[in-house]
Amino acid sequence: MKTKIWKVDKYGDNLYTYPQIKEAAELLKQNEVVAFPTETVYGLGGNALSDEAIEKIFKAKGRPSDNPLIVHISDQQDVQKFVETIPEKAKLLMESFWPGPLTIILQAKPGIISEKTTAGLSTVGIRMPDHPVALSLIKAAGLPIAAPSANLSGKPSPTNFVHTFQDMNGKIAGIVDGGETGVGVESTVIDCTDNIPIILRPGGVTKEEIETVIGPVKIDSQIKEEVENPRSPGMKYKHYAPNVPMVLVDGSPEFLQKIIDEKRQEGKKVGVLTTEERKNIYDADKVLVCGNRNNLSTVAQSLFKTLRSFNQENVDYIVSETFPTEGIGIAIMNRLIKAAGHNVIYEN
């Protein structure tokens, strides 16, 4: 399959009228798969109403089809077309965080969204992305668009066109190149079908931000686990992994250096994932900087790009620092733990 490329300036006016957007939208209407940028990562978009389109998404990703997909819309009013009811807390979240990196799980109206989109569940996760290219494409298609991240299954999610092209060229109908994404980690997923909403996946909107709007929420106890019947994307299978083994080290820089030295004594070339503040203190074969420890949003923005960068470096093993789990830190650690296959070494 030849993959078409459309370059779109996200700062343009009335993007939904652009011929590139119209052509990409036409392919979506024909149940083809088109990758596009959102404010979090690039998404692999297909008609959420079509079994055929969803099967093509899973085939392109090389992923089993037992994981639900998030449905993307361009108008908040569209939610009521696809769900039974919108609880008051869900309405407050939409008003506060949409468009934005928050996916809300609600009871689906039966027989509308493809069961392949929902993985056969009675619920559906919906979000309105905060990216002009994404919103324009969805509007031009006139469809709800199911879109997991546009990476091969298990690999780091792509935050720019180049990484999307590397994974998806020849596998899908087209890619809309809208430049770099912003947030860097996927959306927060919150289940609003219970009285006390539950965060199933931490992401671009933090627990603390959510609680300022709707009061107490729970964090799902399985966020750090692999689950058999996931209610949200990202709860099952190894994710975000670079091409070589990786370990997280929870401890002092001195302890992390000890782990590096041990691996090098085994004859391994070792790469380190660290931050701007500590880039000069480690003796390793390769040191890559992932944002600023004093501003964790910069770590989130750089995380997947940094994990992918190790694939271009001649290393056999990656040692990563850990991060505080306040705010967006919990989303960073959630992704790193999955990238390392739950392989963590603790100093204490």
149 with 66, same domain? yes
Mean pLDDT value across residues 101-124 = 97
Share of the chain above pLDDT 70, in %: 95
Does 25 map to a domain?
A: yes
Mean model confidence pLDDT for the chain? 94
H helix intervals, 62-202:
79-82, 88-97, 115-118, 132-141, 161-168
15 with 132, same domain? yes
Does 107 map to a domain?
A: yes
When pLDDT is cut at 50, 70 and 90, the band that residue 230 belongs to is low
180 with 268, same domain? no
pLDDT tens for each residue of 65-76: 788 999 999 999
pLDDT tens for each residue of 180-218: 999 999 999 999 999 999 999 999 999 999 999 999 999
pLDDT tens for each residue of 299-332: 999 999 999 999 999 999 999 999 999 999 999 9
Does 229 map to a domain?
A: no
Does 238 map to a domain?
A: no
Residue 226: pLDDT above 60? Answer: no
In whole angstroms, what is the distance from residue 346 CA to residue 256 CA? Answer: 10
194 with 129, same domain? yes
pTM: 0.93
In whole angstroms, what is the distance from residue 8 CA to residue 178 CA? Answer: 5
212 with 329, same domain? no
Phi/psi for 285 (5° steps) reads: -75, -30
Does 123 map to a domain?
A: yes
Domain holding 15, by residue range, is 4-219
Q: Residue 154 belongs to a domain with what CATH number?
A: 3.90.870.10
Sequence-separated (6 or more) residues with CB below 8 Å from residue 7 = 20, 177
List C-alpha distances in Å: 217 to 20, 50, 56, 212.
41, 33, 35, 10
Q: Residue 274 belongs to a domain with what CATH number?
A: 3.40.50.11030
In total, how many domains does the chain have? 2
DSSP state of 111: T
Q: What is the pLDDT of residue 231?
A: 59
